[in-house]
Chain A
Amino acid sequence: MSITFDKVDHLYGKGTSFEKMALKNVSFHIRDGEFVGIIGHTGSGKSTLIQHMNGLLKCTGGNIYYDGKDISDKEYDRKKLRQNVGIVFQYPEHQLFEATVGKDVAFGPNNLGIPGLQAEVRTYEALRSVGIDDSLLDVSPFDLSGGQKRRVAIAGVLAMKPKVLVLDEPAAGLDPVGRRDILDMIAGIRREENITVILVSHSMEDVAEYVDRIMVMNDGELAMDGPVGEVFAHRRELEEMGLSVPQISLLMKDLEDAGIIKDTGIYTMEEAVRVLSKRLLEGSGQSTYNTTP
């Protein structure tokens, strides 16, 4: 399902001293099945942007199309839109409220009017895809660990079977292992369900490894939009926006400048390992560089 923003503006607090242009002339098109990362500094308009995608915020200028239809149309079915575009907000565990994990996850399907048994099946499926064991179905969500709570909250959105999944800083506040686990899980869900995923983050490192395309927000404007390698090539501009490229790509750039490797635009650890080991093997036939004794 495609999302199109056409010259979208958003003005907060019109006519007060809090007035702020949160989005300025933002235009882009996200195709079906894409894995997109939205990156930006705190207050760059990322969160405002995603709230437009399911109609929680209305743009004050421009148009937004979902599947070619203008979502600000009076006849547009906004409930359907919220089902199709699932948004997982920052710290989603703060929205848990039900007495049991199962009931909380079923909240979304119930709101959509999905019959009991089918809602139950969806609850099971959603919990399984986030890696929560069935034995926790009847446990209070408030008794779970932080990481588990977040997974349950994500399952709450997945149970609505969205075609586009938007996640705002899904790894915020987790330890490195937890971050990796959650992001791997999201990538896995994307593969299995074959849905569009939009990952919002301020951390390049998190996003680089997973997404295919990066959109950089700066001060309410869409500053860059393109494939990961292309965006990371603009290191200086990114640094001016208070963003940095991943550590590994800095190292690889230095190696490239020193003439040791020829590959450019490397930003994931796996790729770096592959390139470097290839380089080591071909670099010389001497056994000192050989990785296998």
Chain B
Amino acid sequence: MIRDITIGQYYPSESVIHRLDARIKFIGTIGYVIALFLFDTFWGFLPALFWLGTIIVLSRIPLRFIAKGLKPVLFLLIFLALFNLFLTPGQTIFEWWIFNITDKGLENAGFMALRLMFLVIGSSMMTYTTTPSQLTAGMESIFKPLGVFKVPVHEVAMMMSIALRFIPILLEETDKIMKAQQARGADFESGNIFRRAKALIPVLVPLFVSAFRRAGELAEAMEARCYHGGKGRTKLHPLKMKGRDYVGLALIIGFVVAMGFVP
């Protein structure tokens, strides 16, 4: 069902990764993404797998939950793999009608699909283990220097965390509306693609109406509590680097540098 979408969600658990400073996790994610683009042979996936596997094990998040997170990008994944498979020039190893698979195509398809999977799972690990409020605080702290160039750092961070926070709410709302319309005989599962798209109107209209209503309510609630942007705002739980955070940072730097040496 639609509630199975886990991308951008927080998975509550007690683990070292959960307790890590949000800034470290953010830097770690960026470092990991850069590292994934530093190599261009399959050998590079070995250390990347080791790194990602260690984080997953440490985070105590069930593999099934992580696998579910790949579902929404599955279509993109297949699309990417197919394009690479058929459109890369090279030595032909298989030919049928207009289809032409080359050795290079096969290699590219596998490589791209793997890289995308590593990207999605790796960056999801950050949102799985960090609450939206920690995430906001972390991003705000990292991007603070941009404030010099009049970038509204706090506001942007706040917007991003609200957007993340609203994903589960809107998914739940979608689920509710779909059920209500199904109770009125709506059918989302049969018919061709146009019929199915049309069948979504009774879901999308109420969803948009409710999204706007919620946005308005949230804005009012924030104003009622005297929210006026980031100026002069203090924190209940200020971010503070601890011993494990420095260890984490050192490991991240080590990993990225090491990945630079992978052929």
A contacts, CB < 8 Å to B: 15-17, 51, 54, 56, 79, 82-83, 86-89, 92, 94-97, 107-108, 111-112, 142, 156-157, 160
Contact = CB atoms under 8 A, between A and B. Distances in A.
Contacts of A86: 183
Given A95-B181, A111-B185, A112-B185, 10 more contacts: A17-B12, A83-B185, A89-B183, A96-B206, A97-B205, A107-B184, A108-B184, A108-B185, A157-B183, A157-B184
A92 B180 contact: yes
Nearest to B184: A108
A97 B206 contact: yes
Contacts of B181: 95, 107
Contacts of A92: 180
A95 B64 contact: no
Contacts of B187: 79, 111
Most chain B CB atoms below 10 A, which of A86, A87, A111, A142: A111
A45 to B, nearest CB: 16
Contact of A54 (B176, B183, B210): B183
A83 to B, nearest CB: 7
Contacts of A54: 183
A23 B206 CA distance: 29
A34 B82 CA distance: 58
Contacts of A79: 185, 187
Contact of A111 (B177, B184, B205): B184
Interface size class of B (residues with CB under 8 A): 20 to 34
B53 interface: no
Nearest to A107: B184
B184 A16 contact: no
A224 to B, nearest CB: 27
A87 B185 CA distance: 11
A95 B185 contact: no
Contact of A97 (B11, B12, B185, B202): B202
16 contacts: A15-B62, A17-B12, A51-B179, A87-B180, A87-B183, A88-B183, A89-B179, A92-B180, A94-B180, A95-B177, A95-B180, A107-B185, A111-B185, A112-B185, A142-B209, A160-B185
B209 A82 contact: no
Interface in B174-200: 176-177, 179-187
A92 B177 CA distance: 9
Nearest to A96: B206
A95 B173 CA distance: 10
Contacts of B185: 79, 82-83, 107-108, 111-112, 160
Given A15-B64, A16-B65, A17-B13, A89 B180 contact: yes
Nearest to B176: A89
Q: Which 3 A-B pairs have the closest CB atoms?
A: A111-B185, A97-B205, A108-B184
Contacts of B210: 94
A16 B65 CA distance: 7
B201 interface: yes
Given A97-B202, A107-B202, A156 B184 contact: yes
Contacts of B184: 82, 95, 107-108, 111, 156-157, 160
A160 B12 CA distance: 42
A158 to B, nearest CB: 11
Nearest to A50: B183
Contacts of A17: 11-13, 62
A76 to B, nearest CB: 16
Nearest to A142: B209
Nearest to B3: A13
B107 to A, nearest CB: 36
A88 B209 CA distance: 19
Contacts of A111: 184-187
A151 to B, nearest CB: 15
A160 B202 CA distance: 17
A24 B70 CA distance: 32
A262 to B, nearest CB: 46
B182 A82 contact: yes
A22 B37 CA distance: 45
A108 B203 CA distance: 14
A56 B180 CA distance: 9
A17 B182 CA distance: 29
Given A17-B11, A111-B186, A94 B177 contact: yes
A88 to B, nearest CB: 8
Given A17-B13, A79-B185, A112-B185, A56 B65 contact: no
A51 B203 CA distance: 18
Contacts of B177: 94-95
A51 B183 CA distance: 9
A30 to B, nearest CB: 18
A56 B177 CA distance: 12
Given A89-B176, A108-B184, A97 B201 contact: yes
B5 to A, nearest CB: 13
Contacts of B203: 97
A95 B62 CA distance: 35
A92 B209 CA distance: 13
A105 to B, nearest CB: 10
